[in-house]
Structure 1
Amino acid sequence: MDFHAVLYNIAEEIDSRDLAGLKFLCLDHIPLKKQEFIKDAVGLFKILEEKGLLEEDNLSFLKELLYHNNRMDLLNLLNTNQSEVECQIRTKAQISSYRVLLFDLSENVAKFELKSIKFMLSRKIPKCKLEDNMTLIDIFIEMEKRGILGEGNLDDLKAVCDVIDKNLLKKIKDYESNRVERSTERVPVEIQDVEEMMNDLQATSGDFPGEKDQDKAYKMSSKPRGYCLIINNFDFQRARKEKPEHQNIRDRKGTDVDAEALKNTFKKLHFEVVHFQDRTAEQIHNDLQNFQDRNHDGKDCFVCCLLSHGDRGTIYGIDGQEVAIKDLTSYFSSSKCPSLAGKPKVFFIQACQGKTIQSGITLDTDSEQQRESLEMDAFLQSECIPDEADFLLGMATVENHISYRHPKEGTWYIQSLCKNLKEKCPRGVAILDILTDVNSEVSQKIDLSNKGKQMPQPKYTLRKKLFFPVN
């Protein structure tokens, strides 16, 4: 049977409850904002195809989805069965065990227990957010938005389950035990190959610090290395509605592409990624306060990526209210966050530093291809980091100037940053050297509509070399 005919037949058997489960299992691959436009299984399959997760000769991801959603009957339409998919998952799972755990918990909670869970969480989540028709999956998503639930942050959920149902608590503890066991297992061959390459490079390039030079580089060996917080502001409808001076502010098309690239990059660099979407100014402050209050004792670093509109010295919440960048970075000074004292705090900020278009010299080029029109993230003063050691601030552009964002391909800066991190971190290149390469790459781009250019700018108070090894 035709590939798309098979998908259509499967979609016909998936009701709204099944669809909600499938979308939740896909959250690590399809951002929440993009999921809002998925109204049926056909829409979900279309996006999976666009992302390369669903192909005629590769149905493994779909099989895994149906298996975890307990639709074993639909596996027959894909010429497979439960035992074959279980073997596939043991070999190479594509859906995280964390996401599977939460889905499994949602399937094992009765209606009366759900009411009790909402009541217990009312101190953590405003009652207006805990609507009567919310499912447990909806609650999990709200908890993740607020930073009180994550792959390595299950304490609040355990506290609730300890009271509601000990069986649910046991599932979480089993997951945590298995997670520890997995982290100590022998690494796969492909990772070993990368490690061997890194060792060879260390012996020849001199970039990675040797035993005698360990004090010249920040320690970066914990797993996870630390948290990577991504705050991604796309929808500025509220700002347009509430603040007359922001009537012309646009939604930030293309920012989800950046958020996904950052998420994938820092996961590969062994960071625990937390992704918040569309945050007001107050929520941004609360998010940073939340991570300031966390215990970072077992971690070596903290990374924060801020994607938004802004002005000099500030970024905007989706309500149009300004947030001073220095206020956000200062949450992690040694006095306010002692568990990060002496450890690198890294901020990557995609926003303009003003409204001036940076001009460039016209150069000969081999291509006069016209791009889709670019957009601007219309920001940041020079003093944006605390006056103390161990901070790195990577900014999309120099002071007083705009930065560019492609509606489909993302921003020049973030896309170049992620590409260079992926290529050069395994080779032992220090982060400041990588940012220099990003500067060079972005500075060579040009907006053909107005001959505008862009020059990123790192600012730092680092005391040692900073590497993000992949081993």
Structure 2
Amino acid sequence: MDFHTVLYNIAEEIDSQDLAGLKFLCLDHIPLKKQEFIKDAVGLFKVLEEKGLLEENDLSFLKELLYHVNRIDLLQHALDTSKLEVKCQIQTKAQISSYRVLLFNLSEDVAKFELKSIKFMLSHKIPKCKLEDNMTLIDIFIEMEKRGILGEGNLDDLKKVCDVIDKNLLKKIEDYESSRDLVERSTERVPVMEIQNVEEMMSDLQATSGDFPGEKDQDKVYKMTSKPRGYCLIINNFDFQRARKEKPEHQNIRDRKGTDIDAEALKNTFKELHFETIHLQDRTAKQIREDLQNFRDKTHKGQDCFVCCLLSHGDRGTIYGIDGEEVAIRDLTSYFFSSNCPSLAGKPKVFFIQACQGKTIQSGITVDTDSQQQGASLEIDTFLQSECIADEADFLIGMATVENYISYRHPKEGTWYIQSLCKNLKEKCPRGVPILDILTEVNSEVSQKMDQNNKGKQMPQPKYTLRKKLVFPIN
């Protein structure tokens, strides 16, 4: 189909709300004054062509725009491109600033009643005549930028507003600032390692051989010959009395009976795999951060790997300290980015997270979970995850359950996930089975379990940016 016909067909599907979002995302490339004359998507595409951002043989900028405004239908049907392909393209070379994307995403997350509150909170910064009733949050962001109270390095006023209106919005801003600081530090220290393309990652996932690799395959397998292989840090939270005492919202949070069985199983398993195990019991959120920072600062030279096992209550994207405070999983993994921990650059960093990722029960069974809810004879480990996998290569994160759902723990037998993980590591590592194959077997085992009421099930989820096969030999 003719290039301009394709653009015209896409433009026909863009409504006024999508157009406002597209224009906002283009602000770093098309000045606001010039945008005033853009009344429809055709006009926007014309300006993008003039700027050299839209060409017949290069539609990457348009694809990135459609991805961010979540018009995946147009990517697939008009441009024959998948969401995953564009995501990989953005990871390699983003053309729209993360700052601009942050603001757009915030505008998508704000409800109408919250928008009124935001306008009220900003009334001392922006004249009321400029805060009209029909203004969107995007309009407000533009007005704030005009007045110099909002910018890529100037988010304080916006953070103060979000801190009052919705702390989830504040968390997104803080996550953005953390990732921006990481990028700035990485350019000053160690070059960031590139993640392999999707095809290579998928080929790694489909590990086929159960035998140890031959010499010609050594470059496709992580080195795992040092003794000890590395540190295995186990953080085990059982006693949540402090959370019940200090946090009214956590009055019903339970102590995690059975977690000591998991901790002991992990300790024995990784000792057999030649790791130096360190077991830390009942840690607050602050202590968990400090623990990970301490291990980040250790020298890992002469070691081949780092393993961290986190056993606690949780919610989407976070785990709880015993004081009821949350710690973002992404913050903990980021300590071990190549730029932050150069002695682990190019080496596998493995995290096993036993905690829920929400409070929803999957169809199948009811057991003790690690959440503030109580099952019949099992308990739940509520956990929230927001993109736990690190942006850099060589990470493997084994989650006890998929996003939004609870995970189960038996007070006398431990958790389904950790017990299955340890059993399969002990059985299959001596045979040279790659870790991704082992986690697939764990998925299979755990997914078949059900509680006594036949109401709740559990589906673990590994996430990874491994570039090679990861095998734990016992010799």
Which interval holds the TM-score relative to the shorter structure?
0.5 to 0.7
Deviations 1:142-168 (A, max 9, x none): xxxxxxxxxxxxxxxxxxxxxxxxxxx
8 A Cα contact 1:330 1:385, kept in partner: no
**Structure 2 spans left out of the alignment, 5+ residues:** 1-207, 366-374
In the alignment, what sits opposite 1:392? 396
In the alignment, what sits opposite 2:244? 240
C-alpha separation in 1, matches of 2:267 and 2:424 = 14
1:346 to 2:350 alignment: yes
SS class of match (1:429):
coil
Match runs of 1:385-424 below 5 Å: 385-424=389-428
**Among 232, 249, 254, the residue aligned to 2:253:** 249
In the alignment, what sits opposite 1:379? 383
C-alpha separation in 1, matches of 2:430 and 2:395 = 22
C-alpha separation in 2, matches of 1:450 and 1:247 = 28
CA, structure 1 residues 241+450, in 2 after alignment: closer, same or farther (shift >3 Å)? farther
In the alignment, what sits opposite 2:229? 225
What's the offset of the Cα at 1:382?
4.5
In the alignment, what sits opposite 1:305? 309
**Structure 1 spans left out of the alignment, 5+ residues:** 1-203, 362-370
C-alpha separation in 2, matches of 1:381 and 1:422 = 28
1:455 to 2:469 alignment: no
Q: Which has the larger radius of gyration?
A: 2
Deviations 1:346-399 (A, max 9, x none): 0000000000000049xxxxxxxxx97111112132411220100000000000
8 A Cα contact 1:353 1:397, kept in partner: yes
Match runs of 1:114-133 below 5 Å: none
8 A Cα contact 2:330 2:386, kept in partner: no
Partner AA of 2:420 in structure 1: S
8 A Cα contact 2:210 2:431, kept in partner: no
C-alpha separation in 2, matches of 1:356 and 1:450 = 15
C-alpha separation in 1, matches of 2:352 and 2:228 = 19
Partner AA of 1:333 in structure 2: F
**Among 311, 315, 321, the residue aligned to 1:317:** 321
C-alpha separation in 1, matches of 2:209 and 2:262 = 31
SS class of match (1:334):
coil
SS class of match (1:227):
strand
TM-score (norm 1): 0.54
C-alpha separation in 2, matches of 1:282 and 1:405 = 25
What's the offset of the Cα at 1:436?
0.1
C-alpha separation in 2, matches of 1:432 and 1:206 = 12
C-alpha separation in 2, matches of 1:317 and 1:310 = 9
**Among 412, 415, 432, the residue aligned to 1:428:** 432
Kindly, what percent of the aligned residue pairs are identical? 87
Deviations 1:65-116 (A, max 9, x none): xxxxxxxxxxxxxxxxxxxxxxxxxxxxxxxxxxxxxxxxxxxxxxxxxxxx
SS class of match (1:426):
helix
1:216 to 2:243 alignment: no
Cα RMSD of the aligned pairs, angstroms, is 1.8
C-alpha separation in 1, matches of 2:220 and 2:380 = 39
SS class of match (2:278):
strand
C-alpha separation in 2, matches of 1:309 and 1:319 = 11
SS class of match (1:384):
coil
Deviations 1:254-299 (A, max 9, x none): 0000000000000000000000000000000010000000000110
TM-score (norm 2): 0.54
Match runs of 1:196-207 below 5 Å: 207=211
8 A Cα contact 2:236 2:279, kept in partner: yes
Question: Segments of 4+ in structure 1 off by > 2 A?
Answer: 204-207
8 A Cα contact 1:229 1:305, kept in partner: yes
8 A Cα contact 2:209 2:433, kept in partner: no
Partner AA of 1:437 in structure 2: E
C-alpha separation in 1, matches of 2:212 and 2:220 = 10
